[in-house]
Amino acid sequence: MEKRFENKTAVIVGGASGMGELTARKIASEGGRVIIADVNGKAAEKTAGSLRASGSCAWGIPCDVRLREDVEKVRDFALEKTGSLDILVHTAGGASQRMCNAPGPFAERPYEVLDWGIDVNLKGPLYFARAVLNTMLKQERGVIILLGSIDGVTGSPMSVDYSTAKAGLIGLTKSLALIGAEHNVRACCVSPGPVLTRPGMASMKTPMNRAAEVREVVDVILFLASDQASFITGVNYLVDGGRACGAQEYPR
């Protein structure tokens, strides 16, 4: 098996479930040290415990990405435990109308629901990028991978704040890439279409007539986080089964 992440420390935000969990497991299986940060601290530690049981170096830590102090604690924890911070993969997020049980139209959606969407999906990644960047610049190495969405490219009439936040991640990615370029610090965004992380995704249409398997998105994340992508930075990778090619035909 390849050991693309040997002697590297990866912080996986939202790493207790879904794409984040699989990313953490794959990085650990290839020799990486993994810090699993998640709002569900018990689930984060459970995932980390299972990795330790298989011989990997892994820790779980609770983190609410809306809280700057939590974000900085994760950074400090990673440095305390391993002495470096080489990879940040930020997968935490979700559509506010689903997460906050507010299914009505955008113009009637409570402001606090919109705030939740922006805080979790945009400000959280922004806070984490700020928290880890100086460490990576001093190390003269590092990779930041942000999880975007097809909605950030096409827009969405139902998930307006989510689409706004995910579009913002593309600008954040480009900005981080410009800051880090001379210091071997890269930044990339991965924007999936529907992914089979929950049953509702299976019915969302794409030109390929299916949603993505979780591994199909994670494989792209792993490639970009590895040295195989050492000359790739500032880009947004679509993993959407062609949905962006005809978004008007595939409403959400």
Q: What residues are annotated to the active site? A: 162
Burial of 136 (0-12, 13-18, 19+ CB in 10 A): buried
| Cβ contact 160:252 at 8 Å | no
Token code pair at residue 32: 């990486």
Who contacts 115 (Cβ-Cβ below 8 Å, separation ≥6)?
A: none
- At 221, give phi and psi (nearest 5°): -60, -45
CA dist 169 and 150 (Å) reads 12
CA distances 229 to 70, 139, 179, 186, Å, are: 30, 18, 18, 9
